[in-house]
Structure 1
Amino acid sequence: MPDKYGVGEDAYCYAGSTVLRNKLEIRDEPTLDEAEQQLSAIAAASVEFNPPPYDLSYLQNIHRALFCDLFEWAGELRTVGMAKQASRFCQPEYMEKEAEKIFAKLATANWFEGMDRADLIVAVADAYSDINVVHPFREGNGRAQRILFEHLIMNAGFEISWWGIEKDEWICANIAAYNCVLGPMEKVFEKCIGQAIQP
């Protein structure tokens, strides 16, 4: 019985189900989705900004903070292959190596510090798309990645807000980026990245 990620039967789900095992023992997906949204939204407020360097461990710590009340494996790298529609994410055995390359590229770019807004939009869209293909967690990748990118963008000296981005627009941008078409993701970040933060 494949779930929305095409994983099917795996150790993350209750037997014969596509519902992820969770600390609250919720056994139906709509209720779990609701609990996940509420708990992660509350937890997000407690995730503190830190300046770079950023790495996979930093992203794992964000994920752990967001989902530790719900999943035993919060912050742990997934151990199963995953796909969503026609998008196949990085296989578990390659995730750390691929993430290391992406974060090294960010470090070489000096974490986008000193970029003007137009260049930042392009750079962030590209970097976000790369990390999304790694998709290191069984669930909750988008929320953890968005906080990582809030920190990256704020450190680069700009405001960031996800308000006003429609779910369908976000999904379409991610699918397009997976297929190396970055225009829709750049449009998302054009909306999200605000003005330079005044010192």
Structure 2
Amino acid sequence: MTEEVSPEKQRWNAYFWEPGGCLRNKLGIKNPFELPVAEYRLRAVRQGEIDRGEVDIPRTYDKAHLQAIHKHMFQDVYDWAGQFRDVDISKRGNPFVPAELLDKWTGKVAAKINDKDWSTMSREEFVEGMAEVYSYQNLTHPFREGNGASAKVFISHVSEMSPYRLDFDRVEKDEWNEASSASYPEDLEKSTDPDPSKMYAVFDKLTVERGSVLRPDSELAAALHLQNSTYAGVDVDGPNGDAGMGERPETYAVAQEADQDTERDD
């Protein structure tokens, strides 16, 4: 007798070539160790285009803005690039916003951006405001994959309205992950708000006065990351506790930005 598969499980499995295997991708890669390498290389090129202003992404700071970033960055890898997930995901026991609430939460993030005058902020105000925006955006985690990378670009766009910019190389990956995890509500079902204060120290380190330091060469930075980074592995829990693509060895040398993507630390 064939076991009946729930609609939620069907949606989860649809992201993979086979249940528990490698994410479906345009490259035809079915090895979960090879996919992140290829994904990073293609993503880095597309992110460079965004960083250099070669792509027209309207600064609307809303759902359309997020989707435009994600679609451009991952267009070469996933058919669903730019589309919000239709499954629930979590990381090491920390659930993200349920799929049916993503539009509401994205609107909440946009409101927290639009109710501030970023142009007149002191450094302290900027640090606290940026930590708040990121904490809510991170808890939302609207995409099936690539949330960390797209969130970094998104908050960098927010910082353009201020006298400051964000230098992500100033914070180590472990420190970022620890602060990000600490900002989560203890119980998402009981509390709908993260604790941005847990991210203040991190954003204090990231914050640089705009124009005080030359912007690093994004292509050179990408090359250095490819040479020196290690891939932390996949850890996304789906229906019934399925971990998706499974753990990868910490020593597996692949490209990785310090973007702390919490469903996959890429």
- Shared topology, TM-score over 0.5? yes
The one of 146, 151, 157 aligned to 1:151: 157
Q: Which moved more, 1:113-122 or 1:49-58?
A: 49-58
The one-letter amino acid paired with 2:38 is A
More helix by share: 1
Using a 3 Å threshold, how does the CA distance of structure 1 residues 30 and 184 change in structure 2: closer, same or farther?
Answer: farther
Shift of 1:30: 2.0
Identity of aligned residues (%): 32
Q: Supply the AA of the counterpart residue of 1:58.
A: H
Q: Which has the higher contact order (CA 8 A, sep 6+)?
A: 2
**Where in structure 1 are there 5+ consecutive unaligned residues?**
1-6
* Aligned partner letter, 1:176: A
Rg: which structure is higher? Answer: 2
Whole-Å Cα distance in 2 between the matches of residues 17 and 159 of structure 1? 40
Q: What is the Cα deviation at residue 17 of structure 1? A: 2.9
Residue of structure 2 in register with 1:35 after alignment: 38
Residue by residue, what CA displacement relative to the aligned partner does 1:115-174 show, whole Å, maximum 9, x if unpaired?
011110011011101011111000000100100111111221212211132222221121
Greater shift in the superposed pair: 114-123 or 174-183? 174-183
CA distance in 2, matches of 1:184, 1:97: 24
User: In structure 2, which of residues 29, 33, 48 is the aligned counterpart of residue 26 of structure 1?
Assistant: 29
Give the CA deviation at 1:69.
Answer: 0.2
Q: CA RMSD in A?
A: 2.1
Equivalent position to 1:57, from 64, 77, 82: 64
| Pair 1:174 & 2:188 matched | no
Shift of 1:184: 4.3
Name stretches of at least 5 consecutive residues in structure 2 with no aligned partner. Answer: 1-9, 186-193, 213-266
- Report the TM-score, using the length of structure 2 for normalisation: 0.67
**TM-score (normalizing by structure 1):** 0.88
1:160 and 1:181 map into 2 onto residues whose CA distance is 20
Shift of 1:51: 7.0
Q: 1:36 to 1:102 in 2, by over 3 A?
A: same
Distance in 1 (CA, whole Å) between partners of 2:34 and 2:175 is 25
Q: Distance in 1 between matches of 2:78 and 2:204?
A: 33
Match for residue 135 of structure 1 among 136, 141, 145: 141
- Is the Cα–Cα contact under 8 Å of residues 158 and 195 in structure 1 kept in the other structure? yes
The 3-state SS of whatever aligns with 2:13 is: coil
Q: 1:8, 1:18 within 8 Å by CA — same for their partners in 2?
A: no
Deviations 1:90-123 (A, max 9, x none): 111110011112202211113x221011110011
Residue among 180, 191, 195 paired with 2:209: 195
* 1:63-102 deviation per Cα after TM superposition (whole angstroms, max 9, x unaligned): 0011000000000010001111121011111100111122
Give distance in 2, aligned partners of 1:140 and 1:118.
29
Number of matched pairs: 191
Contact 2:89–2:96 (CA under 8 A) maintained in structure 1 = yes
